Structure 1
Amino acid sequence: MSEMSSIQDSLQSKLDQLECHFTWDIKKEDLGLNDILNRLEEQAKMGLGGEQGVARTHCSLGYVKFLLGRKEEALTDLLKSETLIKEKLGVNCDKNLIVTYGNFAWINYHMKNYTECESYLMKLQKIHERFSIEPSTVLDSEVLGEKGWAYLKFSRKYYDKAVEVFQKAVELDPENSEWNAGCAKALFRTETGTLCTVDSPAIKQLERAIEIDPDDDATRVLLGVKLLFCSKKLMNESEKMIETALNGSPEHPHVIRYVGKYFRNQGFVDRSIELLKKAVEKSPKSGFIHHQLAMCYKTKKINLLKEKRKGNWPEVNNARNQCIYYLEKATSIKDSFVFAMSELALQYGEKRDLPKAEKLFDRTFKTAREKNDSVHVVHYYYAEFQQYCNRREDLAIIHYTECLKVSPHTSEGERSATKLKNIAQRYLNDDPDDWKANEILGLIYQMKGEMFGDTKSYAATSGNEEDDESLSNLCEINCKI
C-alpha cells in the first residue's frame, strides 16, 4: 500500500465518525438540488433565522454546492458560516462549529487537500476533548438541531427523521426555541389530515414552541392553519392566530404564504392573491408560493364557472391562464415539483391540449417513480384527466384504484375512494348486480375497512355525486371556451 493510499484510508476512517451533512445519510438522488439551492440562497439573503440561522443556512449551502460540483464556492459558504458563528458567539462558539468543521474536512478531503482536512480534524478533536465527547457518540443538542433542520429543508422524504432528531434535541435542551420550533414544523408536515385532532402531537408542539418564543409568527401561523384544519369549532381561535401572525410579521414570506393559503381555504381568494403576490415579490424563486398563487386562480376559475353568468368567459379564461402561468413558473423553479406538475398537466387537459397534457403526465410519472415520491398523487390527477378530459372512465378507474392501493390514508387516497364509490353507484343504479361495481366496493372495503351491505347503505356512505357532476360540467364548459 502506498503512503498516499495509507493517508487516505486513515483520514477516511476519521471522517466517517464526524457529525455533518456527509455522514447523515442524505442521498443526492433524493434531492432537488437546484430548488434547494434557490431556497437556501433566498433564506440567507433575507436573513431568516437571525445570525445563527443564516450561519446554518450557509453550512447547508456548502454541502449543496459540493454536490453540484461547485467545490470552491462550497468552501466560501462554509467560511461564511464559520465567520458568522464566531461573530455571534465569540469564545463560546466551539459546539456550534462541529458541523461546519466536519463539512470543511470532508470537502477538503474530496479536493485532495489532505493537510487542510487533517487541520479541521484536529480542530474537531480539540472541541471533543474540551467537552469530553467522543466523535462517534456526539449527542449534543446543537448537532442534533442542525441535523434536524437539514432533514427538514432538504427533502420531504426526511421529514420523519427530522421529527425524531428534533425530539432528541428538545430532550437535551427543553427550553431551546429553535429546536422546539423545528420539531413543531416537522410534526406539522408529517401529521396527515386523517390523524389530526385538537390534542395531536403537532398542535401540542406548536403551542409549546410559541410558549417558549411568543414572537415566532412563522410558527403561530402554522398553528392557526392547523387548528382550523382539525376543527371548524376552533375558527375564532384560528383567525386570531392568523391575524396576530400577520400583524406581527407582515413582511415575513413564510407567514404571508401560509396566511394566503388560509384565506384561500376560507373563500377569500382575492385577499389570498393579494398577499401571495407580495410574498412572491420577496421570494421570486419560491416554487411553493407560485404554486399557491396557481391554486388561488384555479379556485377563482371554478367559482366563476359555477356562477354560470353569461359573458364571463374572458374572466374564466384569464383565471385559467393565470393558473397555468404560475404552475409553469413553479415547475420551472422546481423541476421535480410533482404536485405542481400534475396540476399543470390537468390544466392543459382542461384547455383541450391533450397531447401536451399526456406528455407532461408521462414526465411526471417518471419523476415521481425515480424519486419514489408521491406516485399516488400523479395517479389521482391522471385519473381525473382520464375521467373528465379524455372521457375514458375505464382508465380513470384503473388510476383511482392505483392511488387507493398505494396510499389509502392520504387525501388523494380518500378522494380516490370517493370517486370510485360514485362511479360504482351509477353502475348499481343501472344494475344492482353489476360485477364491476361490486368489485370496486370490495376493493374499497379491503383498503378502507368500509362495508356496504346494499345500495341503500352504500348511498348513505358514498361521496357527493354533485361534486363529480359539477367537475364534469366544468370540464365540458372549459372545452367550449
Structure 2
Amino acid sequence: MARPTVLHLTKKIFGFHSENTDQRWIKERLEKLRCQFTWTLLIEDNEIHDLESRIFEEIEFLDIKYNVGMHNLLAYVRYLEGQNEESLESLKRAEKLIQQKHADQSDLRSLVTWGNYAWVYYHMGKLAEAQTYLNKVKNTCKKFSDTSGYTIECPEIDCEEGWALLKCGGQNYERAKVCFEKALEVDPKNPESCAGYAITLYRLEGMSLLETGLSLQPLKQALRLNPENAYIKALFALKLQELGQEAEGEKYIKEALASTSFQNYVLRYAGKFYRKQGSLDKALEFLQMALRAMPDSALLHHQIGLCYRQKVFQMKDGTNRKPRGQDRDYDKKIKSAIYHLEFAVKQKPTFDIAYIHLASMYIEAGDYRKTEETFQKALEINPQDELKKQKLHFHYAKFQELQMKNEVCAITYYLKAIKIGKGPALKDKSISALEKLALRKSQRNASNEESLSLHEFVCKLRGETKKEPENYEKVIRLVTDFENSEK
C-alpha cells in the first residue's frame, strides 16, 4: 500500500539551509523517537480496516487506562490510510486523556504522542511544526535523564509499545512479550504491564508458540493486581477450562458476567467458554448480545459461525451421518454458519483458521468449487501458527482425497502436515491416511526399485525400521512420478 507522500515546503533554518537538507536533518531525529512510527508494527495492507475497527471497539467498550495508547495507535493507522488530519484529531484526544488520567506526569506520558505529532507533521510537509514537537521530546528527555537526545528508557513507553504490538496481530506478539518483560523488570507489580504480559502469553499459547499453561500464573497475578478487570477474569476462566478445570473456570466467567465493565468483551469470551463446553444455545445468546454492540467484529462472527458449525456436526452425528438436503433445519444451520464465517473472512482477510472452518461448511453444502477457492485463500496466507498450518494441510488433504478423489494432491498435503510435526494427533491421522492411500496406490502400480515406496516411507515414520525417513521433498516428487506413470 502506498504511503502518504511528503509535501515539499520551502523553509530556511539559520538563513541558508536547503529544503532537502532540512528534511534530512529532521528525518534523522524523527527516526530516534520512540513511537508508533518507529516501532516497526507489522500490519498487512488488507488488515488495516479490521485493525481500525478493533481499535474503535477497544476505545468504546474497554474501560482501560491504556486508551491513550489506543488513540496513538489509531493516529498511526489513520496516517497509513492517508488521513493526516484525522490522525492529528486522534493525537489531540490522546493529549486530552493524558491530562485527565496522568496529569502528575503528563510530560513523560506525552513523549509517544509528541513523537507521533512530529512524524505526522513531517509527512504533511509542515517542518516547523514537526521541529516544535521534536523540541518538546528533546527537552523532556533531558529533564528525566542524562541524555541530550530524543530517546529515553522508561517502563511506561515499553508498556505502550507492548500494547501497540499486541493489538497489531500475531506476527508482533513475540516482540510485545519482550516489551512487557522489559517494563516489568523496572516495575514488577505494575498492573498495566502485568495485564499486557499475561494477555500476550495467553495469545502466544493460542498460537502454539508457548507451552500450554504458561500463561496461567501470569493471568492470576494480573487478576490479583487488577481485581475489577472482568476482561482478564474471562481469559483466566478460558485458560482454566483449557487445562481441564472447567468448573473453576465457570465460576470466574459468572463473576465476569456480573461485572459492569468490559461487558461486550466478556460476552464474547463467555460465548467462547460455553461453546467449548457444548452449551451452544447459551453461547449463541451471549455472542448475539455482543454482536448488537459490535456488528462488524470478525471475531464475534467467527465464534457464532463456529456455534452453528458445531450444531451441524451434532445433527450429522445424531442421524448417522445423514446425507445433506434431507433436513431443512440442517441446511438452515449450514447457511447460518456460512453467513457468519464468510463475514469474518471478508472483514479480516488474513483470518486463516476461519477459512478452514468456512471450507468445512462449503463441503457440507456440497459446494466444492467454493471449498477449493477457500482452501486456496488460506494456503496463500500461509499461517504463522504451525498448528494452524498443519490443520490446514490435513483438512485440504482430506478434501482432495474424499471429495475431489485426487490422491496425488492428498498425499502431498498429508506429507506436508506430517512434516510440520507439531500436533501429534493430526500427525498420526495424517500418517494413517497416507498409509491407506499408499497401499492402494502401490497395489495399482508398484514403485521402481530405485525409488522409495510410500509404504516403506510410512514404516520409517512409524519407527518400524531403523532407517530414517527420506526428505519430504523427495517423496513428494515420487508421488508426482507415480501419477505421471499412470497417465
* TM-score, normalization by structure 1: 0.83
Task: Show the counterpart of 1:41.
Answer: 56
Aligned-partner residue type, residue 90 of structure 1 = A
- Counterpart of 2:433? 423
AA aligned to 1:272 is A
2:457 counterpart of 1:442 = no
- 1:308 is aligned to 2:319: yes
Matched, 1:267 2:278: yes
Aligned partner of 1:391 in structure 2 is: 405
1:369-425: per-residue Cα shift (whole Å, max 9, x none)? 8999965554333223223332334422311322332x422xxx4443132233255
Query: Amino acid of the residue matched to residue 27 of structure 2?
Result: Q
Aligned equivalents of 1:101 and 1:235: distance in 2?
46
Q: 1:42-81 counterparts in 2 under 5 A?
A: 42-46=57-61, 48-50=62-64, 52-81=65-94
1:114 aligns with 2:124: no
Distance apart, 1:331 and its partner CA:
1.4
Rounded Cα–Cα distance in structure 2 between residues aligned with 1:376 and 1:354: 21
Superposition pairs of residues 64-463 of structure 1, within 5 angstroms = 64-132=77-145, 134=147, 135=149, 138-191=152-205, 196=211, 200-230=213-243, 232=244, 234-249=245-260, 252-308=263-319, 313-368=327-382, 375-405=389-419, 407-409=420-422, 413-424=423-434, 426=436, 435-443=453-461, 451-452=463-464
Aligned residue for 1:32, secondary structure, equals helix
CA contact (8 A) 1:39 1:285 kept: no
Distance 1:175 1:15, change over 3 A: same
Amino acid at match of 2:155: S
Structure 1 residues 374, 95: closer, same or farther in 2, change over 3 A?
A: farther
Bigger Cα displacement from structure 2, 21-30 vs 76-85: 21-30
Q: Deviations over 1:239-290 (max 9, x none)?
A: 2222222222586222221221111111111111111111111211210111
Q: Cα distance 1:49–1:453, how it changes in 2: closer, same or farther (>3 A)?
A: farther
Structure whose CA Rg is larger: 2
Q: Is the 8 A contact 1:346 1:382 kept in 2?
A: no
How many angstroms does 1:88 deviate by? 2.2
SS at match of 2:278: coil
Q: 1:294 to 1:320 in 2, by over 3 A?
A: same
* DSSP-derived class of the 2:232 partner: helix
Could you tell me whether the CA contact under 8 Å between 1:331 and 1:341 is conserved in 2? Answer: yes
Which residue, out of 13, 33, 36, partners 1:18?
A: 33
Counterparts of 1:415 and 1:136, CA distance in 2: 52
Q: Point out the more displaced range, 137-146 or 377-386.
A: 377-386
1-structure distance, mates of 2:438, 2:52: 53
Quickly say closer, same or farther: Cα 1:143–1:8, change in 2 above 3 A: same
Match of 1:191, SS? helix
Does the CA-based 8 Å contact 1:294-1:326 persist in structure 2?
yes
Structure 1 residues 340, 99: closer, same or farther in 2, change over 3 A? Answer: same
> How much has 1:109 moved relative to structure 2?
0.6
Which amino acid in structure 2 is aligned with residue 301 of structure 1? V
Which deviates further from its counterpart, 116-125 or 417-426? 417-426
Letter in 1 for 2:263: H
- Judged with a 3 Å threshold, the aligned counterparts in structure 2 of structure 1 residues 453 and 228 are, in CA distance, closer, same or farther, namely farther
Alignment-mate amino acid for residue 23 of structure 2: Q
Structure-2 residue corresponding to 1:458: none
Give the share of equivalent positions with the same residue, in percent. Answer: 30
Q: CA 1:66–1:345 in structure 2 vs 1: closer, same or farther (change >3 Å)?
A: same
Q: Specify the code of the residue in structure 1 equivalent to 2:38.
A: T
For residues 212 and 74 of structure 1, do their structure 2 counterparts lie closer, same or farther at Cα, with a shift above 3 Å needed? same
Unaligned runs of 5+ in 2: 1-15, 448-452, 467-487
Contact 1:345/1:361, CA 8 A, preserved across alignment: yes
Structure 1 residues not aligned, in runs of 5+: 446-450, 455-481
Give distance in 1, aligned partners of 2:22 and 2:117: 18
Q: Output the aligned Cα RMSD.
A: 3.0
Whole-Å separation in 2 of the counterparts to 1:275 and 1:114? 51
Maintained 8 Å contact 2:345/2:351: yes
TM-score, normalization: structure 2? 0.82
Matches of 1:440 and 1:214, distance apart in 2: 53
Greater shift in the superposed pair: 63-72 or 83-92: 83-92
Helix, strand or coil at the partner of 2:102: helix
Matched to 1:203, the amino acid is L
The residue type paired with residue 4 of structure 1 is: E
Structure 1 residue 96: deviation in Å? 1.2
